[in-house]
Amino acid sequence: MGEMSSFQLGVIGALFLSVASSVSIVICNKALMSNLGFPFATTLTSWHLMVTFCTLHAAQRFNLFENKSIDIKTVMLFGILNGVSIGFLNLSLGFNSIGFYQMTKLAIIPFTVLLETVFLKKQFSQKIKLSLFLLLVGVGIASITDLQLNFVGTILSLLAIATTCVGQILTNTIQKRLNVSSTQLLYQSAPFQAAILFVSGPLVDQFLTKQNVFAYKYSPIVLAFIILSCIISVSVNFSTFLVIGKTSPVTYQVLGHLKTCLVLAFGYTLLHDPFTDRNILGILIAIFGMGLYSYFCTQENKKKQADPLECQMKDKEDKPFLAHEKEGHEVKSSDKNSIV
C-alpha cells in the first residue's frame, strides 16, 4: 500500500509539474513571438533541448541521478524521430490554418489508440473511448475556428501525427522495456534531438518566416525571454518524459488538451484575448471528458490491481513489440539494452 500511494503521489506530482511548466512556457513563448517579434520556433526548441541536456549533464556529474547505458542505435533513432516530429509539427502549422493545425493535434489521440491497439494489443474500454470522444469534441469546439485544406499541409500533418504518436509510444515503451527512468532516457536522447533541430531549425524557420535567425537583432528583453524560455523548457522536457513513463501516451495527450483549455483561459484573463460562449462551452465539455477519463482510468486500475495475475499475462503477451524474434518465436537476448 505504501509503494502504491507513493507511486500515485509521483504521478500527481508529474502531472502538476507538466501542466504548470507547459502553461508557463506557452505564455512566455507567446510574449516572445507575438509581442517581441521573435518567430524562430524550431530553432528555439533546439536551444531548449541543448539547455536541457547541459542541465542534466551537470546534475549527473553531481550524482543527482545515475546514468544508464542504452544501446546507441535505439537512442539515436529515438532522438532523431522526436526531433523530426517537432519539425513536422512546426511545418504543419506553417502550411495550414490554425484550425487545421488544431485538428492535427486532436488526431494524435485516436491515432495513438489505434497504434497501441494494433501493435501493443492494448485494450481500451468503451467508457474510455467515450470520455476521449467528449474531450476531443470539447477541445475542438473551444479551439477550432477555421478549416482550410491544402495537399502539402495535409501530408505534413499526417507525417506530424505519425512521428509524434510513434515517438510518444516509444518514450513509454523504452522506459518500461529497458527499465530506465525518464531522466536517464531524456539525458541520453536530448543531444540527438537537439542536433537534428540545431541543423534543420534555422532552415525550417527561414522557410516559414522568410527571416534569418542569425541576422535577427537581439535586444536585451528578447534575450531575457529566450533565457527564461530555455530555463522553463528543462522542466517541460523532464515532465513530458516523466508523465509518459508513469502513465501512457494517451494520458499525456489528454493532459495536453487540459493545458490547451488552461492556455485559452489564461489568455483571456491575462492577455485579454477574445473569448466567446463557444470557447466556454468547449472548455466545459472538454473538462467533463477529462473528468470521465480520469474516473474510468482509476476504476480500471483498481480492477487490475485486484487481479495481478491477469495483468502479468497481458504484459507477457505484449512483450514481442519492437523486439527481434528468431525462428520459432524465440526473442533474441544478445543486447538487453536495445529494442530496435
Q: What is the pLDDT of residue 317?
A: 43
The single residue listed with the C-alpha cell 524465440 is: 330
Q: What is the pLDDT of residue 329?
A: 43
Q: What is the pLDDT of residue 321?
A: 36
- The residues facing 325 across adjacent strands are 331
Cα 22 to Cα 17, 256, 259, 260: the distances in Å are 8, 9, 7, 10
Q: What is the pLDDT of residue 227?
A: 97
Q: What is the pLDDT of residue 312?
A: 53
Task: Quote the cell numbers at residue 261.
Answer: 483549455
Instruction: Answer whether 244's CB lies under 8 Å from 252's CB.
Output: yes
Cα 297 to Cα 46, 80, 126, 186: the distances in Å are 35, 32, 12, 27
DSSP 150-216: -HHHHHHHHHHHHHHHHHHHHHHHHHHHTT--HHHHHHHHHHHHHHHHHHHHHHHHHHHHS--TTTS
Ordered mean pLDDT values, 10 residues apiece, the chain (340 residues) = 66 89 90 93 96 96 91 94 94 86 92 95 94 94 79 94 96 94 95 95 94 95 97 95 92 89 76 77 93 92 70 46 40 52
Q: What is the pLDDT of residue 318?
A: 44
Its pTM stands at 0.83
How do the domains of the chain map onto residue ranges? 1-124+149-245
| Interatomic CA distance for residues 78 and 167, integer angstroms | 7
- The residues facing 110 across adjacent strands are none
Q: What is the pLDDT of residue 305?
A: 74
